[in-house]
A and B are shown apart, each in its own frame.
Chain A
């Protein structure tokens, strides 16, 4: 029962964080990084 309450609270927290992030335009920042070659990741930069 305790675990279920913690799980539900964490789901609510995660959804709140996602909504907060979407409202502040963070998906666009993720996209802008993801559509260019990440030089550090591939070992060039």
Chain B
């Protein structure tokens, strides 16, 4: 997959998920009935142009409700997106991932690919998924913990709301300052490190990663063609070695490895495509 094509898909997906442009001029959030359906990526439903619901926010809202019912609908949608796309959602459809990709394009004298503790820190997103999105909202009623204290997409939505209706600025207090600091840190770090939010903090990415091994969109390696030159590993910004583990939890299916392979040993495949004897899934 050409990187330019991926960028075009990301741009179109981000625009489509925020296609109610009236909100940006009039203030307030979109009232479209399409918001009864969750979008696959992290896109706050309080963004003035959002035409779909945020899956993480909807899940926490259902879990922290006083009238608790198992959130079949949101869970079903999340599993459906996960099984079809896995973390390809992160690579192609997530507006916040797209934003980080754009920021990473800003030139900087030293981009950091990995550092000590990088691998351990990546488990943090699973901790956030379990406690911030599921356990704590279940026990602390009416408190979507991840949205309230961490989510940078919500902070961005708040800023956009404030720019479209300046009265919102007067409502910002200490909690907004906290969330703005988190957003600021993520934006700054995104200049140096590729997608820090996706790597270390995103609960949605953590959830979708669990489906990478079985999702319809996958990578396969032709072991007969692969010369173990590691060109794919060097091209991967998520620090995955696709020639060894094409279904790695961290792979966002961006396709840079597919383009980088000089032997065409790496390819996209789905569970419905026919099996090639040389390919390892």
Interface residues of A (CB under 8 A from B): 3-4, 6-7, 10-11, 13-22, 24, 26-31, 33-38, 40-45
Kindly count the residue-residue contacts between A and B in the assembled complex, taking CB atoms under 8 Å apart. Answer: 156
The answer to whether A33 touches B61, judged by C-beta atoms less than 8 angstroms apart, is: yes
Interface size band for B: 35 or more
**Which stretch of B1-9, B30-38, B125-133 is in the interface?**
B30-38
B74 within 8 A of A: yes
A30 to chain B, nearest CB (A): 5
Q: Does B219 contact A (CB under 8 A)?
A: no
Chain B, 260-278, contact with A by CB distance < 8 Å: what is the 0/1 string?
0000000000011000000
Q: Interface 1/0s, chain B 197-214, versus A by CB < 8 A?
A: 000000000000001011
Q: Does B215 have its Cβ within 8 Å of any Cβ on chain A?
A: yes
Nearest CB on B from A29, distance (A): 7
Contacts of B95 in A (CB 8 A): none
Candidates A13, A31, A44; contact of B35 at CB < 8 Å: A31
Contact residues, B35-70 vs A (CB, 8 A): 35-38, 44-46, 50, 52-54, 57-58, 61-62, 65, 69
Does B192 reach chain A (CB closer than 8 Å)? Answer: no
Knowing A7-B83, A10-B214, A41-B46, the reply to whether A18 touches B281 (Cβ < 8 A) is: no
User: B76 contacts A38, CB within 8 Å?
Assistant: no
Interface residue from B57, B73, B155, B179 paired with A26 (Cβ < 8 Å): B73
Cα A20 to Cα B215 in complex, Å, equals 23
A45 to B172, CA, bound (A): 9
Bound-state Cα–Cα, A10 to B80, Å = 8
